[in-house]
Structure 1
Amino acid sequence: MRVLLATLASALLLSGPVAATPAKEAPWLPEAAAYRLTLFLGNLEPLPWDDIETAWSEPYRGSEFSTGAVEWLDRESDIKPDGLLNAMMREDRQAVFAEATRLIALRIEEELDRALATEDPATAQQALRTARELYRAFEDGVAAADSEAARRIGLAWLELNSSTGFSGVLGAGSTSADRETMESARAVISGYLAENYLVDDFATRRALSALPETAVLSGRAIEVPPSLPPGSDIFDQDPLPLLVLNFEEQGIDETDLPLVAYGDMLFDSAQIFGSPARDLGITCSTCHNRSDINQRLFVPGASHQPGAIDVDGAFFNPIFNDRRDDPLDIPSLRGLRFTGPYGRDGRFASLRDFTRNVIVNEFGGDEPTPFMMDALVAYMLEFDFLPNSILTTDGRLTDAAPEVARRGEEIFNQPFAGLGDRSCASCHVPDANFLDRQAHDIGSVAPAYEGARAGALDTPTLLGTAYTAPYFHDGSLPTLAAVVDWFDETKALGLTEEDRASLTAYLETVGAADEPYEAFDTENTAFRLAFAELTTFASTLDTLLPRRDAEHILLLTDTVAADLSADASTMSNLAARPEVYALAERLAAVGAAVRADDWAAAEASWTAFKSEAVAIEERAF
């Protein structure tokens, strides 16, 4: 039964919508990583040639290798990347693709040669592992274009690995390599590489991908599933920011607020976006973990540093590409109902318009229904600031604040000639959540052209900022102390070293919180939190099913069933995991019944889901 449930859960994930819970991928070899980065970056407009060069000259972000691909090849291979380097110097996109593709194919052949040339099974197996890891750079292209070829090549890799022989333990139990099987299996792989990845002239590629040449020449429309390049990170921040919701602080249960609960689900659903964000499992909460900031988020070519993203570049929605390399630091959404207008430059007066822009323009999603917009806005308006007991509700420090911070409070409220005889508090108004709801050009944005007046940015709140480094719209200042230094130097404030320290202490105190992060232990686990959220999302079926609202029911069941099944893999209580997989199947059955217009069956599956969820709640950790 346990195997059956695991199989069903796997089928759900493979055949249904992509879950919003990303899966960690295995490390990439340097040259394979550089190749995949080349494919990804080569599809951006304008093409970032410096980044492509860096992809081959330096280790990818987070790599377990300390050298870049070119240096790695010089040390580990007889294959020289001279043709590739020359193509990069000429900034010839097609030639770079062709040279890089042939290089990976030749490296696979080189490792296969090593495997077949040695008499030592251990050496042969290591060479085969390397060859197989290199082939991974082409694997999704082969699978998308020719599933039968992918199956044959997969079997060939298995046959190669099982026919290398075994050196035994202390000389006992050794077996010889099966040379005939090795040669035969190698021929399958090499033949496919020769026909598809070692050709003299590749067809011109409009979109760079790992598709085999024969598939491209066929003229068939083939889509390779979107993927993020090596070095990407879309996992949640660790530690996870604490989510503070206004209704919860008042003792109201989210299950009693179906519109808010549905909006909560949408905030965690990749289904509201278009491809590639939807297919990669990217959601609103991917960038805004628990209403705050995901300071680890990074996508090569779209991020200049962790915690930043260019949402109007070529990757997410090419039609919305502004052709400017201008990634922005992800803003916190805490206290959203107090922080309008919206957007870094305050271009959206309403949260509804801002949210629609994110869904449709930035991430290429379909036009959301009025109900979806109502739900998302209702949920986000519940985001509250982190409680800070050292700060009064009108923004003054309490007696519990350190003396140095209270001295900084005086400086914060002091007018300066360099600020036009205004104070820091003139814009960051303490009794208005440290906001003035206006945009100001403080000189932090370089003008796009001579005479440009587009440097005005919305005043950000100072609440919770102790946990949202780096600072400014582009994350250019690493600490609050650096922010103080910047203002002192650029606005000629004339602060002493003691003044700077006091003002920094004040900002750190205002930006602090009593409990900034979620607290987990052996039973109060991240999965238990996810389980509570997902079952709360599902509770909106009590409202949607009687209304026979198929569109919104299916969006919910597709999202929550996939996420519940995916999150089950993180459980500490392994014994209860099959029950969670079965629960996900029960919710998927609600969706299947709705698709079949069998509302009685949908109601029955939903009733069973509620009963089973309550039964396993205590074991869901």
Structure 2
Amino acid sequence: MTRDILACRSRRNGAAAAHRTTSCALIVLIALVAALIPLRTEAFPLGGDQTVLPTGTEFSEEALAKPRELFHSEAVGGHKSYLVNLGDLAFNSPSILGGKARQAEMSCGTCHVNGTSNPKLFVPGASSRPGTFDTTSLMFNPKAFNSILDPVRIPSLRGARFLAPYGHDGRITSLRDFIYNVIVNEFQGPRPSDAVLDGLVAYITDIDFLPNPRLSPGGMLSAQASAAERHGEQLFFKPFPHQPQVNCATCHVPTGVFTDQARHDVGSGGLVKTPTLLNANFNAPYFHDGRYDTYEEVVGHFDRIFELGLSSQDTQDLVAYLTAVGDGDRPFDKDGVAIRMKDVRELASVLKLAIPAADTAVVSLAVTGVGAELRELTEHIPDIRYASVGGQEERLAARTAVKDLVLSLRRIDLAVAAGHLDEAMAEYETFSMLATFDVPVALKKAEPWSLFNANVHQSHYAALGRMLQTTAKQAR
């Protein structure tokens, strides 16, 4: 997929909040859609609006399977709390940010997809390469603009509760303060309420590292390790030739989630915080500024800067060791009706406590966030005007069912605003019943003719890619 296709996952598990093109491309795209519909019966067009971000922006590629969060509360046999679900809502809501980010429907989840990183994100003028972002760029933060393109790597948030202090330079001790700084100072958002901050902290701290069967509990390699990995582990603990008091494990402490939580100058441009090596296989690019794509490049950097005298075999074995340490059992969700409706129910569950408390701010956030999830879900079910797709009756029923849920949310919002809390709770019970039973059934029947169908999905984006390629050629 080209970078002219903006697939913005601005909401949790959202396949695409909107598909945007430049204004000149959009005019041609409409004509191309009309021409292609009769030829591609399994594909259908999605509407788009003009982006406020520059041409060439990419948030992430479409995928029917994507990594999901591994929540500590669920891993130990419990369930996500009210605060975690509230934080999930806020994390994936553009409304908590400001300026260009909000206009572009970006959220925390745009950069940190499902609490991980986003190696595909690229914004001209704010990124030096995919997976990096400059929060002091003129586009997003004119008050902090310094006329320098100095983006940093987008980190994964897995295991964040173990990784204080925060920021690539470790300048902020508290996760709560760090979140506040990102929202208010870096993205010009309004000051979040204490409840929203509590929720964001709860959500992020509940995201666990991925389990890694290749490591023992103390951070040493498991018994199944290869000879190359074993030798790499020995090199990891070997003193540096010119600094015998130091080795790799001095900073990347195996018993301390592979970080000493301190700042060091490793020849990359000043003091930077030691990153964890856990789950690092999924967190490229590497270094604070994302300058390296591979472990080989990282090892080569340290070999040059600290004159380690590594042989070619040493480098290979260190890479094998780092790959073992950085591995993890990564759970994936297959995008579809079941996972989307599960998200809707979990996110909407905050209303059960927010309504009796007359917490209009949280109710509004939930109504907006869940409503956006539902509208995005509708975008995956083509309108019945596209008769060539098939399943017209099922698609109409599904879209109507989702519309009823959105209207139910609106009634909840109005009732709470008017102080009619009993009426709002009764409507919430209706919403919950519909979201648990009727709506999933209607959506499941329409799923074969939706973007959740792998064949329809592939054909649609292949057609969209061809359209934009043609548009680009005609615009030259």
| Coarse TM-score class (shorter-chain normalised) | 0.7 to 0.9
Q: Are 1:326 and 2:147 counterparts?
A: no
Specify which of 506, 518, 527 is matched with residue 332 of structure 2: 518
Deviation sequence 1:284-313 (CA, Å, 0-9, x none): 111011211111111111111111111121
Residue equivalent to 2:413: 591
Alpha-carbon separation, structure 2, partners of 1:412 and 1:571: 52
Q: Are 1:243 and 2:69 counterparts?
A: yes
Deviation sequence 1:41-74 (CA, Å, 0-9, x none): xxxxxxxxxxxxxxxxxxxxxxxxxxxxxxxxxx
Kindly state the Cα deviation for residue 419 of structure 1 after the two structures are TM-superposed: 4.4
Residue equivalent to 2:139: 315
Q: Are 1:434 and 2:434 counterparts?
A: no
Residue equivalent to 1:470: 285
Alpha-carbon separation, structure 1, partners of 2:135 and 2:340: 27
Specify which of 327, 333, 341 is matched with residue 531 of structure 1: 341
Instruction: Please tell me the residue identity of whatever aligns with 1:554.
Output: S
Specify which of 550, 553, 566 is matched with residue 363 of structure 2: 553
Alpha-carbon separation, structure 2, partners of 1:261 and 1:519: 18
Q: Are 1:579 and 2:404 counterparts?
A: no
Kindly state the Cα deviation for residue 531 of structure 1 after the two structures are TM-superposed: 2.2
Instruction: Please tell me the residue identity of whatever aligns with 1:474.
Output: D
Alpha-carbon separation, structure 1, partners of 2:280 and 2:438: 39
Residue equivalent to 2:473: none
Identity of aligned residues (%): 38
Kindly state the Cα deviation for residue 410 of structure 1 after the two structures are TM-superposed: 0.6
Kindly state the Cα deviation for residue 332 of structure 1 after the two structures are TM-superposed: 1.0
Kindly state the Cα deviation for residue 584 of structure 1 after the two structures are TM-superposed: 2.1
Alpha-carbon separation, structure 2, partners of 1:328 and 1:292: 15
Instruction: Please tell me the residue identity of whatever aligns with 2:332.
Output: E
Aligned residue pairs, count = 401
Specify which of 588, 601, 612 is matched with residue 434 of structure 2: 612
Instruction: Please tell me the residue identity of whatever aligns with 1:310.
Output: D
Choose between structure 1 and 2 for higher RCO, CA contacts under 8 A separated by at least 6 residues.
Answer: 2
Change (3 A) 1:21 1:262: farther
Q: Secondary structure of 1:444's partner?
A: coil
> Structure 2: where are the runs of 5+ without partners?
1-13, 35-48, 383-393, 445-476
1:462·1:511 contact (CA, 8 Å) conserved in 2? Answer: yes
Kindly state the Cα deviation for residue 595 of structure 1 after the two structures are TM-superposed: 2.8
Alpha-carbon separation, structure 2, partners of 1:614 and 1:511: 38
Specify which of 420, 423, 430 is matched with residue 247 of structure 2: 423
Instruction: Please tell me the residue identity of whatever aligns with 1:494.
Output: G
2:303·2:309 contact (CA, 8 Å) conserved in 1? Answer: yes
Residue equivalent to 2:388: none
Alpha-carbon separation, structure 1, partners of 2:165 and 2:233: 27
Alpha-carbon separation, structure 2, partners of 1:253 and 1:383: 13
Instruction: Please tell me the residue identity of whatever aligns with 2:413.
Output: G
Residue equivalent to 2:299: 484
Q: Secondary structure of 2:110's partner?
A: helix
2:176·2:197 contact (CA, 8 Å) conserved in 1? Answer: yes
Alpha-carbon separation, structure 1, partners of 2:231 and 2:415: 65
2:83·2:202 contact (CA, 8 Å) conserved in 1? Answer: yes
What TM-score does the superposition give when structure 2 sets the normalisation length? Answer: 0.79
2:109·2:115 contact (CA, 8 Å) conserved in 1? Answer: yes
Kindly state the Cα deviation for residue 467 of structure 1 after the two structures are TM-superposed: 1.4
Specify which of 25, 40, 48 is matched with residue 20 of structure 2: 25
Alpha-carbon separation, structure 2, partners of 1:285 and 1:385: 18
Residue equivalent to 2:58: 233
Change (3 A) 1:509 1:20: closer
Q: Are 1:403 and 2:227 counterparts?
A: yes
Larger CA deviation: 370-379 vs 351-360: 370-379
1:236·1:289 contact (CA, 8 Å) conserved in 2? Answer: no
Residue equivalent to 2:353: 543
Query: Which residues in structure 2 correspond to 1:49-128 (within 5 Å)?
Result: none
1:527·1:571 contact (CA, 8 Å) conserved in 2? Answer: no
Change (3 A) 1:571 1:414: farther
Instruction: Please tell me the residue identity of whatever aligns with 1:232.
Output: T
Residue equivalent to 1:192: none
Alpha-carbon separation, structure 1, partners of 2:364 and 2:143: 28
Residue equivalent to 2:103: 279
Residue equivalent to 1:292: 116
Deviation sequence 1:320-358 (CA, Å, 0-9, x none): 323321111101111000001000000000001100001
Residue equivalent to 2:309: 494
Kindly state the Cα deviation for residue 532 of structure 1 after the two structures are TM-superposed: 1.3
> Structure 1: where are the runs of 5+ without partners?
1-18, 34-129, 137-156, 162-223, 446-454
Alpha-carbon separation, structure 2, partners of 1:583 and 1:235: 28
Deviation sequence 1:593-613 (CA, Å, 0-9, x none): 223333333222211101111
